């Protein structure tokens, strides 16, 4: 059964605005060029192996989550569980609800149409447009003006739908002067599926938004994720992505700095092994003066895995006083592993400070010798070096337990007995 039809889109439930939103999405998707590795934005990828029409809609959500999906992180201000694209649980601390914070399925909230799809607009990426057409249940977080959410809000995105295409969406609206951090866990079982989540982040004037995503999908999952972040005047958006799972996992991350003095910090750590492919496409889009963006992506490839980093800093003519950094570093742990690293600059204003750096190489021999000369066996020395390599990204994660989870995942990949 094919999910990607007008009938399938129209058959989904929800309020009128959402039906209209999907209908126009379905029209755009029908008109869009399907991805192929001939296109620059899909170059190096294995997208040709993904048969989009081979997936059906997910079945009904199951009653309970597997024990491997952890919803018990301490010190949360809110928790939502999304299963197979449906919001099945959503809790918010009463104190924040009383202060006007809204956190619920968008189909249940008034005026949700003012937020859903607003940041991403009509994507030039057909697989993000597919989410417009076939998404069933967007999750919406609205933080009102001046409200600081002092503990993280967690979203667990769980997929257990073999043969299905799953389109979840998270929309975060931080109004002027507000602050919020969202921790997003993306997990799936070991069945073949295609997951195309969209995340929209909107930081209004003077707002602070943190978005940390841990991708630990099952071994047979295909993921084509899109995150679009829009930062207005003097606001700050911090994104940290950690990627470990999936057969093919793509993250397209667009940061738009649209208001003067806005800033964004984009960081990622990833560790691919076996036959995995991770595919990162980033855009630091400077549209306003005096904005700052700092990107740091660090990855390890082992086995026969393959990573792609392709990033662009685009400084538009009006973006004088831009300060933009782009760094991608990769360690190759095996001869058969491969990392592509392609930083790009497009600069249309002369009053800018931009730099980019990119490295791909094996573990530094001098570092390994230094640790070995203290009596640390070779494999343990390499584990210490890789752990240390990720350290400057991991320290950007604002939650101890999440940091520990990520350290454990790195340890598992390295074969460290815990």
Partner 1 sequence: MSSVLEITGLRAAVAGKEILHGIDLRIASGEVHAVMGPNGAGKSTLSSVIMGKPGYEVLDGTVTLDGVDMLCLAPWERAQAGLFLGMQYPTEVGGVGVVDLLVEAARSAGRDPSLVAAAVRAEADRIGLDAKLLQRSLNVDLSGGEKKRNETLQLAVLRPKFAILDEIDSGLDIDALRAVAQRVEAATEEFGLGVLAITHYYRLLEELKPDVVHILARGVIVSSGGPELAEQVEVDGYAAFAGIG
In angstroms, what is the minimal distance from the CB of 272 to partner 1?
20
Q: Provide the pairing of β-strand 86-92 with 102-105.
A: unpaired
Pairwise CA distance, residues 45 & 308, whole Å: 8
Pairwise CA distance, residues 400 & 71, whole Å: 15
The H helix count followed by the E strand count for the chain is 7, 21
Decide: helix, strand or coil at residue 346.
Answer: strand
| Tokens 């210490």, residue located | 384
Decide: helix, strand or coil at residue 34.
Answer: coil
* Residue 37: exposure state from Cβ atoms within 10 A (0-12, 13-18, ≥19): middle
For partner 1, give the closer residue by CB, 145 or 380.
Answer: 380
- Exactly one of 275, 323, 367, 412 binds partner 1 (CB under 8 A); that residue is 367
Residue 407, interface with partner 1 (CB under 8 A)? no
For partner 1, give the closer residue by CB, 158 or 390.
Answer: 390
- Exactly one of 49, 53, 150, 392 binds partner 1 (CB under 8 A); that residue is 392
- Exactly one of 48, 121, 362, 388 binds partner 1 (CB under 8 A); that residue is 388
108's CB contacts (< 8 A; 6+ apart) are none
> Residue 304 has which token pair?
């026969």
Residue 376, interface with partner 1 (CB under 8 A)? yes
For partner 1, give the closer residue by CB, 313 or 397.
Answer: 397
- Exactly one of 124, 348, 391, 400 binds partner 1 (CB under 8 A); that residue is 391
Q: Which stretch binds partner 1 (CB under 8 A): 29-37, 203-211, 277-285, 367-375?
A: 367-375
In angstroms, what is the minimal distance from the CB of 412 to partner 1?
18
In angstroms, what is the minimal distance from the CB of 307 to partner 1?
20
Angle at 129 between CA 124 and CA 133, to 5 degrees: 160
- Exactly one of 7, 95, 374, 418 binds partner 1 (CB under 8 A); that residue is 374
For partner 1, give the closer residue by CB, 206 or 382.
Answer: 382
Residue 371, interface with partner 1 (CB under 8 A)? yes
> Residue 416 has which token pair?
């460290």
Pairwise CA distance, residues 349 & 418, whole Å: 51
In angstroms, what is the minimal distance from the CB of 366 to partner 1?
5
Pairwise CA distance, residues 301 & 296, whole Å: 17
> Residue 236 has which token pair?
């700050």
In angstroms, what is the minimal distance from the CB of 368 to partner 1?
8
Size of the site for partner 1 (CB under 8 A): 24
Q: Which stretch binds partner 1 (CB under 8 A): 47-55, 76-84, 145-153, 371-379?
A: 371-379
Residue 365, interface with partner 1 (CB under 8 A)? yes
40's CB contacts (< 8 A; 6+ apart) are none
In angstroms, what is the minimal distance from the CB of 387 to partner 1?
7
In angstroms, what is the minimal distance from the CB of 17 to partner 1?
48
Pairwise CA distance, residues 299 & 239, whole Å: 16
Q: Which residues bind partner 1 (CB under 8 A)?
A: 364-367, 369-378, 380-381, 384-385, 387-392
């Amino acid at each position: 059964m094919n999910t990607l039809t007008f009938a399938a889109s129209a058959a989904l439930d929800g309020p009128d605005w959402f039906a209209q939103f999907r209908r126009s999405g379905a029209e755009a998707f029908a008109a869009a060029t399907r991805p192929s590795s001939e296109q620059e934005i899909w170059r190096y990828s294995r997208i040709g192996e993904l048969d989009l029409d081979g997936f059906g809609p997910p079945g009904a959500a199951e009653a309970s989550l597997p024990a491997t999906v952890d919803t018990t992180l301490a010190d949360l201000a809110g928790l939502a569980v999304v299963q197979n694209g449906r919001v099945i649980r959503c809790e918010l601390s009463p104190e924040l609800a009383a202060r006007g914070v809204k956190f619920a399925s968008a189909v249940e909230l008034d005026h949700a149409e003012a937020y859903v799809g607003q940041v991403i607009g009509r994507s030039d990426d057909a697989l993000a447009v597919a989410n417009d057409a076939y998404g069933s249940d967007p999750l919406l977080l609205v933080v009102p003006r001046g409200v600081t959410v002092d503990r993280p809000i967690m979203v667990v995105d769980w997929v257990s739908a073999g043969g299905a295409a799953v389109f979840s969406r998270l929309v975060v609206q931080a109004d002027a002067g507000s602050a919020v951090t969202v921790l997003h866990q993306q997990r799936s079982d070991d069945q073949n599926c295609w997951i195309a989540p969209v995340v929209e982040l909107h930081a209004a004037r003077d707002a602070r938004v943190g978005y940390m995503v841990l991708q630990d999908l099952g071994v047979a999952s295909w993921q084509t994720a899109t995150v679009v972040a829009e930062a207005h005047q003097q606001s700050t958006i911090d994104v940290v992505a950690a990627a470990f799972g999936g057969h093919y996992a793509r993250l397209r991350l667009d940061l738009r700095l649209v208001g003067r003095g806005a800033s964004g910090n984009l960081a990622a750590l990833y560790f691919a092994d076996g036959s995995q492919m991770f595919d990162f496409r980033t855009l630091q889009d400077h549209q306003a003066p005096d904005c700052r963006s700092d990107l740091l992506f660090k990855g390890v490839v082992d086995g026969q895995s393959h990573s792609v980093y392709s990033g662009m800093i685009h400084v538009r003519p009006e973006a004088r006083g831009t300060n933009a950094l782009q760094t991608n570093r990769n360690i190759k742990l095996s001869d058969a592993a491969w990392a592509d690293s392609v930083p790009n600059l497009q600069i249309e204003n002369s009053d800018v400070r931009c730099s980019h750096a990119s490295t791909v190489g094996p573990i530094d021999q001098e570092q390994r010798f230094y640790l070995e000369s203290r009596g640390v066996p070779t494999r343990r020395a390499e584990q210490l070096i890789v752990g240390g390599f990720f350290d400057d990204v991991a320290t950007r994660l604002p939650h101890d337990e999440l940091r520990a989870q990520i350290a454990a995942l790195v340890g598992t990949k390295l074969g460290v007995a815990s």
